[in-house]
Structure 1
Amino acid sequence: MDRMLKEYFLDKDELQTFVQRLIGKYEVLGMKLEDGELKYSRINSVDELRLPSSHRPLVPPKKWFYPERETLFTYRISRGRVKIEDSLKKLLTMKRIFFGMRPCDVRSLHILDKILLGRFHDPYYGIRRENTLIIELTCNEPAEYCFCTMVGGGPYVEDGCDVIFTRISEGFLVETRTVNGAKLIENNKDIFRKAREEEIIERNEIIARAYSKIEAKCVDLERLYNTLVRIYDSDMWNDYSEKCFSCGKCNFICPTCHCFDIYDEVDANLSSGARVRIWDSCHFLSFTRVAGGIVFRRERTSRVKQRIYHKLCYSIDEIGEISCVGCGRCIEVCPSKIDVREIIAKLEG
């Protein structure tokens, strides 16, 4: 990502003007209330957009880049010839702005980029990512389940976004992080001005307070890795597996889980069909089932370990960092209240 670091100020009274301009040019995604719940969704009018000082939607932004169900291509057989239509064509003209993404979710995209745009390139994810400009919204206040600082993140992150908005007393301190972000602000320079020193200081103080309010302190990730390697056969994993229902909620709500299954849908006339990709869960018994009915992780303990080890250990080997961003969603939805913060603390102790 090309860097273009500048700091601006946007008056709170000009926010609506800015958002309205974006809606006129882009498909805008952001936080809005739907059925009383805060969700990442399409923003069709200025009044729908929510930019709270705290809280993050329960469902992460992953689905807007990596849908839970996606048709990869369709095919039709006519007179002995097969015609295939790739769904990539429909994505090429996409032009989106994601306004108000939380720092933990920005970091999750940074991790997914390494996974899905690395050694194995996912073109469907890649096009959506390339055609979406990300505006991060700093967390002024931590939420109940946040532990981003424990895993090397925080209420403000600099990598993975194009622009950062931080709410201050009279408006927003706005930072451009990429060339595309700088162009966006430059194209609206009539409502932005250069940030003053006192506004930058206020932003810095807000971020420092937010860090201090998060109880989870950063752990030594190298030490954690070595501990996990050493205790792979520990009985502690049996204790956690006894609580686990293997429901897969933690996987589906996680902003970085990316495992999938692929199947073909064939019409009754056998002349047309589609290849479909859906999310999958390493907690499911069927996840490691292969030909002959063999299941490599039949015991629940092995599946519980797989998720924890993939997040905190295997990811370091694969992409150079852990794949947990500390958003706390898995803790929030787990019916048994298995708490990854407790697991990490236990490993640290």
Structure 2
Amino acid sequence: MLKEYFLDKDELQTFVQRLIGKYEVLGMKLEDGELKYSRINSVDELRLPSSHRPLVPPKKWFYPERETLFTYRISRGRVKIEDSLKKLLTMKRIFFGMRPCDVRSLHILDKILLGRFHDPYYGIRRENTLIIELTCNEPAEYCFCTMVGGGPYVEDGCDVIFTRISEGFLVETRTVNGAKLIENNKDIFRKAREEEIIERNEIIARAYSKIEAKCVDLERLYNTLVRIYDSDMWNDYSEKCFSCGKCNFICPTCHCFDIYDEVDANLSSGARVRIWDSCHFLSFTRVAGGIVFRRERTSRVKQRIYHKLCYSIDEIGEISCVGCGRCIEVCPSKIDVREIIAKLEG
């Protein structure tokens, strides 16, 4: 399905305007001076920077931090349930300019949420959203995607890839839906020339060379984690950790949740709600009788690291860290997962 096209920088606005007219468009834009993934309502809002990625990942657009799963109402002895899934069936979205690490994160969430236990709310959002990846021409400060098998350019998991080159964008189609999107706008796209493809390849090669983190031997890392499970090094990290949960909520692949029921005062109506949860919270493993299985902070620090780098391999066949560096950026104690991996490798 791979085809390579060129979009002149002067035609970008035309393309985006057409998308806004047909889809709900999501992408990077400035809000209060901060780059965020958000709804794009006009052409001039969309940002396609050569570097940098939003602090908050795209996860919330597919797996909201708070979501009403269904509401109910009791009337005359009968219960009427309204499933929120119905409202998502007509969704038609394009995510324009998703960073490669975030594209990889959705691939991981797909394995988790669309695998043995299928999450229909996540699934319908994924199915109805076309993904346009934006290559990272320059790595950002906290990036270590190459350390965990990723990179500033990822071929799988998206429908179209945009790479900024000198006079516009080198555009690649990766899926049938991506090919249809470009074909429907073929009047502003043309076949890419050889020199444009070469320029794209050189940009990607330079971006890889600028990321200092080298790819680790994940099998060796897995075996090391199994061997040092009871190491005192985890106590050192737990002494620094505040158990604030920032790393979980800002992570593009963390997916743990809690479910509770909201009941109106008249007891005749209510809702079932899902919210994000954190394995760092003391309440995360609290069960009936007030027993907490991971009362010690060390066990909670280990849980996060082991889930990312060890348990995920057993569960989905790969680690669930994409090297975006968000957890490093927000940690008040400056706990750096790159240092942990380097120590384990050493």
State TM-score, norm by structure 1: 0.99
Residues 197-253 of structure 1, C-alpha deviations (whole Å, 9 max, x = no match) = 110000000000000000100000000000000000000000000000000000000
Residues 7-63 of structure 1, C-alpha deviations (whole Å, 9 max, x = no match) = 000000000000000000000000000000000000000000000000000000000
SS at 1:307 equivalent? helix
SS at 1:71 equivalent? strand
Aligned residues: 346
Shift of the alpha carbon at 1:86?
A: 0.1
SS at 1:318 equivalent? helix
Shift of the alpha carbon at 1:6?
A: 0.4
The structure 2 residue matched to 1:212, chosen from 202, 209, 213, is 209
Q: Distance in 1 between matches of 2:226 and 2:155?
A: 31
The structure 1 residue matched to 2:254, chosen from 249, 254, 257, is 257
Q: Distance in 1 between matches of 2:169 and 2:159?
A: 16
The structure 2 residue matched to 1:185, chosen from 152, 167, 182, is 182
SS at 1:265 equivalent? strand
Q: Distance in 2 between matches of 1:150 and 1:119?
A: 29
Shift of the alpha carbon at 1:266?
A: 0.1
Shift of the alpha carbon at 1:304?
A: 0.1
Q: Distance in 1 between matches of 2:320 and 2:156?
A: 15
Q: Distance in 2 between matches of 1:278 and 1:156?
A: 32
Residues 142-173 of structure 1, C-alpha deviations (whole Å, 9 max, x = no match) = 00000000000000001110000000000000
Residues 73-101 of structure 1, C-alpha deviations (whole Å, 9 max, x = no match) = 00000011100000000000000000000
- What stretches of structure 1 move > 6 A for 4+ residues in a row? none
Q: Distance in 1 between matches of 2:142 and 2:107?
A: 21
Q: Distance in 1 between matches of 2:218 and 2:162?
A: 29
Shift of the alpha carbon at 1:339?
A: 0.1
Residue of structure 2 in register with 1:156 after alignment: 153
Shift of the alpha carbon at 1:307?
A: 0.1
Aligned residues with identical type, % of pairs: 100
Shift of the alpha carbon at 1:325?
A: 0.2
Residue of structure 2 in register with 1:29 after alignment: 26
Residue of structure 2 in register with 1:60 after alignment: 57
The structure 2 residue matched to 1:230, chosen from 197, 212, 227, is 227
Q: Distance in 2 between matches of 1:99 and 1:196?
A: 24
Q: Distance in 1 between matches of 2:247 and 2:269?
A: 35
Q: Distance in 1 between matches of 2:319 and 2:175?
A: 24
SS at 1:39 equivalent? strand
Q: Distance in 1 between matches of 2:316 and 2:155?
A: 19
SS at 1:166 equivalent? strand
Q: Distance in 1 between matches of 2:195 and 2:117?
A: 46
Q: Distance in 2 between matches of 1:33 and 1:122?
A: 31
Q: Is there any run of 5+ residues in structure 1 with no aligned partner, and where?
A: none
Q: Distance in 1 between matches of 2:132 and 2:344?
A: 35
- The yes-or-no answer on 1:94 pairing with 2:91 is yes
- The yes-or-no answer on 1:322 pairing with 2:310 is no
Q: Distance in 2 between matches of 1:13 and 1:104?
A: 28
Shift of the alpha carbon at 1:269?
A: 0.1
